[in-house]
Amino acid sequence: MKILQFTVDCPYPPVSGAEIRNAANARALTALGEVLTVSFTGGPAPSPPPNIRHRIIEAARGRGPWQKRSAHPTVHLIPADELAEAAAIWKNFAPDLVVVEDIALSQLLALAPELGGRTVVDLHNIDSRTLADRIGALSLWQRLRRFREHRAKIAQAREADILAAKTADQVWVCSEADRATLALGPA
């Protein structure tokens, strides 16, 4: 079995919580077959674990963090050149399974009907809930001053979570509480 894993950051060596999870997923997936991890930021992995190959999206090199380039609160709106490169890698590798790590890269799920392979989206967090919690932690004045903007951002994030869950063949979450939150519908 061939497994293609898309990550925002290079998970080798793992440093952050997301990288630790992505690296652990890749190691676990090697039990099923050949794993190719493709990252949108960072450089090539200096030494990926055995049985895992790593590539980066060359078109993304030198661009700033996606959070500063994307109008969407939780999804990286992937530029056409980066999306084309990801599609070419997907097509050439011809995976049986594609794991999209995090809602940020959920736009890649739209490639599945054309390129094939079962898809999994790993929602490390329910990002619409995380965004709502961050907004809820603001002072009352900050929340009220941008009430409509905050409400729109939470709705956008929630729609992205729901669309990713509907588009992927399978959804991975961290807990049963997250699974229940995802199933509840709009926040």
* CATH code of residue 116: 3.40.50.2000
Instruction: List the beta strands (DSSP E) in 10-136.
Output: 34-41, 52-56, 97-101, 118-122
Average pLDDT over every residue of 46-65: 85
Distance in angstroms (rounded) separating the CA atoms of residues 106 and 161 = 9
Are 111 and 86 in contact by the 8 Å Cβ rule? The answer is: yes
Average pLDDT over every residue of 34-59: 90
Q: Please report where in the chains the tokens 């063949």 appear, as a residue.
A: 169
Strand partners of residue 98: 4, 119
Q: What number of other Cβ atoms are within 10 A of residue 20's Cβ?
A: 13
Task: Answer yes or no: is pLDDT of 185 > 60.
Answer: no
| Residue 144 CA from chain centroid, whole number | 31
Highest mean pLDDT among 31-35, 72-76, 153-157: 31-35
**Percent of the chain topping pLDDT 90:** 51
Task: Answer yes or no: is pLDDT of 182 > 80.
Answer: no
For the record, the structure tokens of 186 come out as: 């709009």
Collapse the DSSP code of 40 into the 3-class scheme (helix H, G, I; strand E, B; otherwise coil) and give the result.
strand
Report the domain count for the chain: 1
Task: Answer yes or no: is pLDDT of 178 > 80.
Answer: no
- Residues spanned by the domain of 69: 2-183
Percent helix, strand and coil across the chain, each rounded to 5? 50, 20, 35
pLDDT confidence of residue 16: 84
Distance in angstroms (rounded) separating the CA atoms of residues 182 and 187 = 9
Are 158 and 128 in contact by the 8 Å Cβ rule? The answer is: yes
Distance in angstroms (rounded) separating the CA atoms of residues 84 and 3 = 19
| Average pLDDT value for the chain | 88
DSSP state string for 168-179: SSEEE-S-HHHH
